[in-house]
Structure 1
Amino acid sequence: MAMVFDDRTDAGRKLAERLGEYRNKQDVLVLGLPRGGVPVAYEVAEHLGAPLDVFLVRKLGAPGNEEFALGAIATGGVRVINNYALRQMGVSTEALAAVAAREQRELERRESLYRGDEAEPDIAGKVVILVDDGLATGATMRAAVLAVKVKKPQKVVVAVPTGSAEACHILNAEADEVLCLDVPTHFGGVGAWYRDFAQTSDEEVLDLLNRARQRMAA
């Protein structure tokens, strides 16, 4: 029977229980994908005693059907395009460029808002655990994995509470380790597996990041 989580906090705690091998290790870094992945990642980082940061990725939604991912962009200029989806939706190169430009502006806005004066985390040589609230197409997480790999980590772990079988399979080819806590037979969408799937606000992301930074400083 498929798992249904109360909310992202509940999902993060359940996910963290399966990542015990990384607890209290000096070289572990947890990166949440804003916004929805951050409350999940916060619980993982708390449980593991690891620092928490964000990794900015934006889905490139199809014009008129924003939830349908044509690809994604990530910090560092990484761009992942699903050419099959592009042909299927009949999206022109010009239309895709307009979507990418808009999402790039939003990525830069969030980077500035969430990071402020904080330096980007040092990823080189680290075990990086990338966390989101779920995987539908996997495009967003795939962009994150490719962007992180450029920074020469020791290992890239993808950890999500729920995901489609196809997305989890795709990520297995990209990341060193993939933990999809639950893979429902009939996925539907990420929100279907949460009782409370309210949108995460910028304020909530900032609050969780500040709390995590204070914990590490202490």
Structure 2
Amino acid sequence: MASTRQFTDRTDAGERLGDALLERGIDADIVLAIPRGGLPLGRAVADALEAPLDIVVAKKIGAPGNPEYAIGAVASDESVWRNERAISGTRTDEEYFQGRREIEAENARQKEARYRDGRSPPELPDKTVVVVDDGVATGSTLRACLSKLQGSDAARVVLAVPVGPPDTIADLETQVDEVVCLETQVDEVVCLETPAGFRGVGQFYADFGQVSDEEAMTYLES
């Protein structure tokens, strides 16, 4: 672990991501951050690429009796990612899954509306879109966000994260989700660190305090 980069905070991670994207010659039309933690990074990346910043929102679908364990996730337009292995392992029935899908999709829509505060969603057809979050663990909400972008007609989707476990990043880089055998429609993955000793995103930040909705929304004002 000594060789693994320790990010000062989310803004520091975003600035490093922005530098990495510039080094790769990625010319983004828009940056989409996943709230809440992705917005400080998204602001730094958008500034570096001189691109507008917006959001893409998804909510985790938790297992029965264990809401922190993701059996899937759903975006604001009801695009869904299913973790079939987790669904089977928790013996979750389809009625429960679909019920939670509807509830969490509505929660995602409400969050998206609150963050946009009356602004229209961005037009994505034929655009190069950079999707940013503060890190990837299982990637459940991220995968649902990517599923939403499948229907956007974006010309190119680039995922940019500071850190994630090697197996998850490898799945995304090969554009195949081994759990559900579904193409994720990611054209490129930029990940600064893929440590073998990954235990959680927060271990790679000196400051990984929670970001409130109020703070997160300020990054959309710049």
What number of residue pairs does the alignment pair up?
Answer: 210
The letter of the residue matching 2:155 is: Q
Q: Distance in 2 between matches of 1:100 and 1:109?
A: 14
Q: Distance in 2 between matches of 1:23 and 1:115?
A: 29
Aligned residue in 1 for 2:44: 43
Q: What's the secondary structure of 2:219's corresponding residue?
A: helix
The letter of the residue matching 2:133 is: D
Aligned residue in 2 for 1:20: 22
Q: Distance in 2 between matches of 1:167 and 1:125?
A: 27
Answer whether contact 2:36 2:213 (CA < 8 A) is retained.
yes
Aligned residue in 2 for 1:155: 156
Q: What's the secondary structure of 2:110's corresponding residue?
A: helix
Q: What's the secondary structure of 2:221's corresponding residue?
A: helix
Residue ranges of structure 1 left out of the alignment (5+ in a row): 212-218
Aligned residue in 1 for 2:211: 200
The letter of the residue matching 2:56 is: F
Moved >4 Å (runs of 4+)? 21-25
Question: How far is the alpha carbon of 1:23 from its aligned partner?
Answer: 7.1
Answer whether contact 1:159 1:178 (CA < 8 A) is retained.
yes
Aligned residue in 1 for 2:111: 110
The letter of the residue matching 1:170 is: D
Question: How far is the alpha carbon of 1:73 from its aligned partner?
Answer: 0.7
Aligned residue in 2 for 1:92: 93
Question: How far is the alpha carbon of 1:22 from its aligned partner?
Answer: 7.4
Answer whether contact 2:60 2:73 (CA < 8 A) is retained.
yes
Matched, 1:135 2:136: yes
Seq. identity, %: 39
Question: What do you get for the CA RMSD once the two structures are aligned?
Answer: 1.8
Answer whether contact 2:78 2:105 (CA < 8 A) is retained.
no
Aligned residue in 1 for 2:168: 167
Q: Distance in 2 between matches of 1:144 and 1:22?
A: 23
Which of residues 191, 200, 211 in structure 2 aligns to 1:180?
Answer: 191
Question: How far is the alpha carbon of 1:101 from its aligned partner?
Answer: 3.1
The letter of the residue matching 1:162 is: V
TM-score computed with the length of structure 2 as normaliser: 0.88
Answer whether contact 1:136 1:167 (CA < 8 A) is retained.
yes
Matched, 1:125 2:126: yes
Rate the CA distance shift 1:39–1:23 in 2: closer, same or farther, 3 A: farther
Aligned residue in 1 for 2:201: 190
Rate the CA distance shift 1:177–1:23 in 2: closer, same or farther, 3 A: closer
Question: How far is the alpha carbon of 1:18 from its aligned partner?
Answer: 0.2
Question: How far is the alpha carbon of 1:5 from its aligned partner?
Answer: 1.2
Question: How far is the alpha carbon of 1:96 from its aligned partner?
Answer: 2.4
Which one has the bigger helix percentage? 1
Q: What's the secondary structure of 1:72's corresponding residue?
A: strand
Q: Distance in 2 between matches of 1:188 and 1:170?
A: 18
Q: What's the secondary structure of 1:38's corresponding residue?
A: helix
Q: What's the secondary structure of 2:147's corresponding residue?
A: helix
